Every structure is written in structure tokens, then in C-alpha cells.
Amino acid sequence: MTVLILGGAGYVGSHATDEFLARGYDVAVVDNLSTGHRAAVDEKARFYEGDIRDKTFLSDVFTKEKNIEGVMHFCAYSLVGESMEKPLMYFENNVGGAITLLEVMNDFNVKHIVFSSTAATFGIPKETPITEQTPQNPINPYGESKLIMEKMMKWQASATDMTYVALRYFNVAGAKHDGSIGEAHKNETHLIPIILQVALGQREKIMIYGDDYQTEDGTCVRDYIGMADLIDAHIKALDYLKTGGQSDAFNLGTKTGYSNLQVLETARKVTGHAIPSEIGPRRAGDPDALVADSSKAQAILKWTPSEKLADIIQNAWSWHQKHPHGYED
Ligand code: UDP
């Protein structure tokens, strides 16, 4: 049986492809390479270059791949700032792509989907840590598009025998332990890779966005989840669906928050570099603290995260040192 990985050339998708293969699954990958990298996809996976919004293309993939037992969806746009500037682009790609995908899954009688959702569906939470009961009120088009996708899957699951798991990621970081694949965005916006670019000498300093938040040291607090733990949750989610588990959503984090300054300090220790920094103005749309309560995933999916912040940064550092220019090396 085959796992179809949509967005398998991207940051999370390429690590999922690698790990499903390592665990003996047959894997096919679809990616339009708009942000992904062909070199990130293991050669053992069959690769189809194309866009999931293209129904003819996607139906052709499902025709060729006769034994799809589950679909992993990693092919949405995911930058908060970009979504504020180009909301329609987010709804068109994220929501539009999911509509076509659900139609094709229905046409070909494929029953299970595991889908990347996000802490951004919660907006500014009224409670912390955030549970699955915490109300979802997104404050940007990215989070809104993912919430719409969650709801679409819910209604489609209630109308058909399709089942889904939505995994709401908190802050994903890190890379495969051996540093062979990792994070490579054209315009990097995320904290940990930018800090490591400073350590590599590619940037002069890291600008910390704001130190007047309602947190202990005044900088934003985030819950970092390592790549290996994240992918493990996806594999467990697919197993859960295959063994009759009901459609559901789970928060994925570690229940431990780190401030931006704590992340910086940890990166200084891991890399041995001074990593100059400066406090700058706040970035629009940043909640003070986002920390996940993942007890539901632990209880139902039997998922327990094990990577600590220093391990996560160490793995990311291995990747950045081996591939200072990403996949262009
Ligand atoms: N951040 C920062 N400087 C940077 C990039 C990010 O201070 O150059 C902060 C950002 O404002 C947020 C935290 O780091 O408080 C995590 O941001 P990131 O973009 O990595 O993830 P997000 O929480 O937006 O998903």
C-alpha cells in the first residue's frame, strides 16, 4: 500500500517522505516545486511534479498510484506576513487545493488524510497552554485558511466514509539528525534558521522583534517541536485512521515555552558562536505566548515528544553547517 505525500519536496514533507520510506512504506510524492526542492526528495519515492489544484493532473496521479491507503497534506502556503499582504493567494491555494484534493480522494475512494494545521488557527488565545477546546479565532488569512480546511474536512467526513486527522503544529524547527535534509526557504523568516545564519556569518545580527510582551523577559514565548517528533505524530495519525480511529484534531507541542531570548541563548551554547543581537520593534500579528497542551495526542495517538530545544537547534545546526546555501550546494 502507498502513502501519497503532497508537498513532499518542502520542509516538513521531505522529512515525512524520508521517514515513511525508512519505516518501510511505499511512497509517492506530489509537489509543484514552487517552494520545495527536488533534491530534498529521496530517490526511492516516485515523484510527480504538478499542482494539486489541477484536477486532471491529480486524477492522473491517483490513476497511476492504484494502492493509495492514505494522503499526507503538506502543500499549503504557510507564511503569516505574506498572507496578510496576499489573502486571496492563501485562500485560492490552501482552500482551493483542498477542495480539489477532497474531490479526487472521493472519486478514487481513498479514505484517509492527515493534514497539517497550525497554532495560527487559535489567534490570540484566551488561555495557555492551548487545548483542543480552546476557541479558534485566527487573526491572519493563513490561520483562517487552515481553519476553513479543517472545517471542510469535518463536513466531508460527516457526509462520506472518509476520515481525517488535523495536526495543529506549534513552532516546528530542526532537521533530520544527520543533517542531510533540512529547512531551506528562499526568504527565511523563522527565528531559529535566521539565528543560525548569523552563526554561519551570513547575517550580521539577529533582530529580536519586541521585548515588551507580557512574558517573563518581555520577548515572545513559543513551543518548539522537533522534526523527528513531528513526523512521528504523522505516522501515528495515519496508523490511527487505518485502524478505525475517528476523525479528529490534535495540538502538537511540548507544553514548554521558550522566549526568543532563551532560544538565542540556547543557540549560542549549541553553536559556540556569539550571535550578535538587537531588540527591534514588534512584528505585526505576534501573540505573546503560544504553548500547546498535547495530552490528547499523547493519550489517543500514543505520541510523546522527546526532542528538547537544544537537540532541535543542534539538528538544525548540523543541516546549516553541511548545507550553508540549502539545496543549492
Ligand atoms: N522572530 C524574531 N526575529 C526574527 C524572526 C522571528 O524576533 O528575525 C520572533 C517572532 O517575532 C516570534 C518568534 O521569533 O516572536 C517566532 O517566530 P517565527 O517566525 O520563527 O515563527 P511563528 O511563531 O511566527 O510561527
Query: Atom 2 in ligand 1: which residue has the minimum CA distance?
Result: 208
- 87, 54: one domain: yes
Query: Atom 7 in ligand 1: which residue has the minimum CA distance?
Result: 208
- 23, 167: one domain: yes
Q: Judge whether 30 lies within some domain.
A: yes
Q: Judge whether 283 lies within some domain.
A: yes
Q: Judge whether 183 lies within some domain.
A: no
Distance 134 CA to ligand 1 centre (A): 22
Q: Judge whether 178 lies within some domain.
A: no
Distance 266 CA to ligand 1 centre (A): 15
CATH code of the domain containing 244:
3.40.50.720
- Measured distance CA(34)–CA(295) in Å, rounded: 35
CATH code of the domain containing 323:
3.90.25.10
**What ipTM is given for this predicted complex?**
0.99
CA distances from 121 to 73, 132, 139, 151, 296 (A): 17, 11, 8, 11, 17
Nearest to 60 by CA among 50, 70, 69: 50
Give the position of cell 493563513. Answer: 142
Indicate the number of domains in the chain: 2
Query: Atom 14 in ligand 1: which residue has the minimum CA distance?
Result: 191
- 114, 148: one domain: yes
Side-chain half-sphere of 246: how many Cα atoms within 13 Å?
A: 4
- 20, 131: one domain: yes
Residue range(s) defining the domain that contains residue 95? 2-173+225-252
CA distances from 68 to 35, 62, 93, 104, 138 (A): 25, 8, 23, 12, 33
Confidence of residue 261 (pLDDT cuts 50, 70, 90): very high
Count of residues making up the chain: 329
Mutate to test the pocket of ligand 1, among 191, 202, 211, 217 (most ligand atoms within 8 A of CB): 191
Of 45-49, 134-138, 183-187, the one with minimum mean pLDDT is 183-187
Distance 237 CA to ligand 1 centre (A): 28
Q: What is the pLDDT of residues 112-166, one digit of tens each?
A: 999 999 999 999 998 999 999 999 999 999 999 999 999 999 999 999 999 999 9
The whole model's pTM is what?
Answer: 0.97
Nearest to 120 by CA among 135, 134, 98, 140: 140
Residues in CB range of 172: below 8 A, 6 or more apart: 11, 12, 224, 225, 227, 230
- 202, 142: one domain: no
- 143, 218: one domain: no
Single-letter code of the amino acid located at 5: I
Confidence of residue 168 (pLDDT cuts 50, 70, 90): very high
- 122, 214: one domain: no
Mutate to test the pocket of ligand 1, among 188, 189, 209, 262 (most ligand atoms within 8 A of CB): 209
- 233, 161: one domain: yes
pLDDT for the residue numbered 80: 87
pLDDT for the residue numbered 286: 85
- 164, 218: one domain: no
Residues in CB range of 285: below 8 A, 6 or more apart: 80, 81, 84, 139, 140
pLDDT for the residue numbered 293: 97
The strand ranges marked E within 76-155 are 112-118
**Site residues for ligand 1, CB cut-off 6 Å:** 80, 171, 189-191, 194, 206-209, 220, 222, 260, 283, 286
- 101, 125: one domain: yes
Query: How many C-beta atoms lie closer than 10 Å to residue 51's C-beta?
Result: 17
Give the catalytic positions in this structure: 142
